[in-house]
Each structure stands twice: as C-alpha cells, then as structure tokens.
Structure 1
C-alpha cells in the first residue's frame, strides 16, 4: 500500500525547479465512475463508519487525486487506528493540495503535510518511502515554513544506510536544492554505479519489481539533465512507461519527452522522432516538438 502512495510523493520538485517536470493532474469531477463510487462509500460511512470503509474511500480518492476528500476522511481513519500508512496518506494529500492553491492558502496544507510525514516517521522510522518524503520536504521548504536542510541530510544518511541507491539519489537531490551541481553529479554517478552492481548480480528483475516507481523516472531525468548513463536512463524510462497507470504522478507526455531526449543524445534519430511523435499526439501544442520531428526526419 505504501507504494501506491509514494507514486504521488515527489511534489516538492515543483517547489525548487531542478527538474522542471510538472506533476500529473486528474479531472476527477468529470469521472462519473469515480464520483459514483466516492458517493457510495460516503453513504456507507454515514450508515456505518467502519475503518475499512474509511480506508477504501481515502485510497480511492488518493488514486484519483481528490485531495480534499482524502483530507476530510483520513483523520477519521487515523482516530480509529493511527498507522504510518494513514498518516503518510494524509500528509501526501496535503502536500499536493498545497500546490493547487495560492501561496497564502497553501500554508495550512504545508503544516498538515509535515505533521503527517513526521507522525508516519515516528511509527515507522526506517520506512524508506517515508524517509525520502522527509528528505524532499525538509530540503525544499524555506526555513520560515519549517525547512531544515540539516535534518534532510540526516534522513538521507539514514536512507543511504538502508538502501544505498535510494540514499545516493536523495543526497544528489539535496545537493541540487543547494545549487551544488558538481556534488549532485557525484552522488548521482554513485547511484548509477550502485545500479550497475545490482544488475551485475542478476538482481535487476527483483529491483524493477520492488523499486519506487518514481525512482525510475528520476534516473531517466538525471541521465538527461546531467548527460550521463544514457543507456540506464533509457531502460528506466522504458520500464516506467511499461507499467504506467493513472496512479502515476508524471505526465505521460513527459516520459516520452525524456525518452526522445535520450534517443537524441545517442544519435538514434528515428527512435527520437517516434518518441517526439508520441509527445505531439498527447499534446499537439507542445512548443518545438513539430520542429524537432521535422529536423530528425531529414
């Protein structure tokens, strides 16, 4: 269940623009199936407010990015049974909702986000997904809003001890927030080296099954932005694409865009044109894509 929620954790990339990939949105109000099931679950809660129904509702709402419904009902589930997962879900929903409102109105959501993640961490101090969320949150929030870069580094160190690949990428992430590109590149190179070691031990299949979904996109994005390890970056993005569902927070067109960039870097002109074509199919108005396709087709 934690994996379902970590698909959405990563919102802090929007607060500091080291990776300009936006987060996917979903117009749940236009999804009749979603609305009908949501209302049925709410009606069930009115009749018999069971923990299972609260969980079903908040999970259903989280998948469809209906953050306010999660925020309304998750605290009631927490009151009945305060688990790390329920706090994590509440904190994640608050974080995403903070991005959808003006900065003035975002402050209460930021507070809930921090409270949710910290409570989850108290219950599950070695949960890698919670640790990564804390790294992102505390490294990007300004000090006035409770940001603490040293705390973020402490959690990155803890994460590194538990999972060296996740820890290395987290350390690189923090270095980027501090505008230390060389240091970030060093940590990212370490992360790719760790992945190579995993692959050399014939553990790649197991890794792909167990890895955090967004880590795959991150590795692909890092390969583009730091122009390194193109082959691994491409493999990770292709794997991310293969498993893509509406649960994911990365817009599909951006996955294709990053794949197109990596294909270009490797002088794979035909493949790059195909990927750019997918970007154009999804978003005909994406600036410069038509020109790219034309250039690559010459």
Structure 2
C-alpha cells in the first residue's frame, strides 16, 4: 500500500519533469537559450543528476559567457561521467575563459585545474584535437615561472601534426606568430592553407599579412584567389 501511494505521489512529478524537459530541449534546439534556461533549471531541481539537462545548461552558460556557471555544470558532468573526454575539455575551457576575466593572482590559481582537465581529456580520448590546442595556448601564455614553455607547446603541436596535418601546420604557425617569428609563421600558414583550403586557414594567413607582416598586397592577392 505504501509503495502504491508513493508511486501516485512521485508519478506526477516525473511526468511534469519529462514534459518540461522536452519543452526546454525544443527551445534549446530553436536557439531560444534564455527561455530554455529557465525551464531546464526547473527540471534540474527535480532531477539534479540528469545528464542531458546538465549538458544543455552547460552549453547555454558557455553561449552566455557565464563561465562560472558553465564550470559548475561541467564539473558535475565529469563527475557523473568520468570517462567522457569532452566534459573535461569543456570544464577546462570554462576555467580558461574565466581566468581571462579575473586578476592574475586568481587566474594563476586556476592553472593546475585547467591543465589537469585538458590532459585528462587527452588521456580519455587520445585523438582529442581541441584539448591539445587549449594546452598550446596555455603554455604560450603562462609565464615561465608558472610553467609556461615553448617546448611543451611545440610538443603538443607535433602531436596535432600526427592527428591532422592542417592543425599541425596551423599550430606551428600560431607558435611562430606568438613569438613574432612572422616569416616562419607565414610558411606554416601557407602550408596549412594549401592543405585545408578553408575559411579558417585563409583567415589566419590573411590576418598575418595584413596585421603583422603589413603586406596588404599579399593579403589582397590571397583574398582574390580564395574568392575566385
């Protein structure tokens, strides 16, 4: 009798939660993120460990640049699904974006958690390209005393080259550009663009010509070929 009574009490809550989740999901898919957020946060109160709800809310937080909220959602997700590489990567990504907003002392205090998250993503998925890019940027921007290292950035760039030649050349170009070795960056971006022939590879080389090498003639010639 008690079990039957409990079923009658719980069933309406479960139905309400499911119905509202579907509404929130449809709003999310329609890119009505603010409306979806309100509904999905309500769903989360009744189902605090629901993977799909947490995932949608994490994506919404990232879209809204609410990095603290995003980190909280992805932290919960990586605890619930400790074998899912993307949850670690996105957790680290939210921390990295938050670090840009706070003062240097707070930012440096977040570095170990970022590294650990990105490295774990690679451990779980050895072919994880975005996590390697994140570590390259991290090692480029960190001061040497806090672990910044060109050699470590190059190491991850070499790993990218094995997984994706385009990303390999792009990351080498990025490292050269960061250290103002613009002619070397140009060579790597040219190779990346020859292979990739994408808007991303074009834009990197175009921006280098225009903003760093100060060569508008090369920039316009590249643009003409890309748009032909």
TM-score band w.r.t. shorter chain: 0.7 to 0.9
Q: Does the 8 A contact of 1:91 with 1:116 survive in 2?
A: yes
| Pair 233,168 (structure 1): closer, same or farther in 2 beyond 3 Å | farther
| Pair 216,56 (structure 1): closer, same or farther in 2 beyond 3 Å | farther
SS of the residue corresponding to residue 148 of structure 2 reads: coil
Q: Does 1:126 align with 2:116?
A: no
Q: Does 1:75 align with 2:67?
A: no
Give the TM-score normalised by structure 1: 0.57
Structure number with the bigger relative contact order (C-alpha 8 A, sep ≥ 6) is 1
**In the aligned structure 2, how far is the partner of 1:215 from the partner of 1:191?**
6
User: Structure 2, unaligned stretches of length 5 or more?
Assistant: 1-31
RMSD value over aligned CA atoms?
2.5
Moved over 6 A (4+): none
Q: Does the 8 A contact of 2:160 with 2:168 survive in 1?
A: yes
Equivalent residues, number: 190
| Pair 151,112 (structure 1): closer, same or farther in 2 beyond 3 Å | same
| Pair 35,86 (structure 1): closer, same or farther in 2 beyond 3 Å | same
SS of the residue corresponding to residue 110 of structure 2 reads: helix
| Pair 234,135 (structure 1): closer, same or farther in 2 beyond 3 Å | farther
Aligned to 1:222: 208
Q: Does the 8 A contact of 2:67 with 2:98 survive in 1?
A: yes
Aligned to 1:47: 46
**In the aligned structure 2, how far is the partner of 1:235 from the partner of 1:68?**
43
SS of the residue corresponding to residue 180 of structure 2 reads: coil
Q: Does the 8 A contact of 1:166 with 1:191 survive in 2?
A: yes
**In the aligned structure 2, how far is the partner of 1:101 from the partner of 1:131?**
24
Aligned positions of 1:147-186 closer than 5 A? 147-186=148-187
**In the aligned structure 2, how far is the partner of 1:39 from the partner of 1:107?**
33
User: Structure 1, unaligned stretches of length 5 or more?
Assistant: 1-32, 200-206, 209-213, 239-298
Q: Does the 8 A contact of 2:74 with 2:90 survive in 1?
A: yes
**In the aligned structure 1, how far is the partner of 2:149 from the partner of 2:224?**
34
Give the TM-score normalised by structure 2: 0.72
Aligned to 2:101: 100
Instruction: Considering fraction of residues, name the structure with more helix.
Output: 2
SS of the residue corresponding to residue 179 of structure 1 reads: coil
**In the aligned structure 2, how far is the partner of 1:171 from the partner of 1:183?**
9
**In the aligned structure 2, how far is the partner of 1:60 from the partner of 1:229?**
37
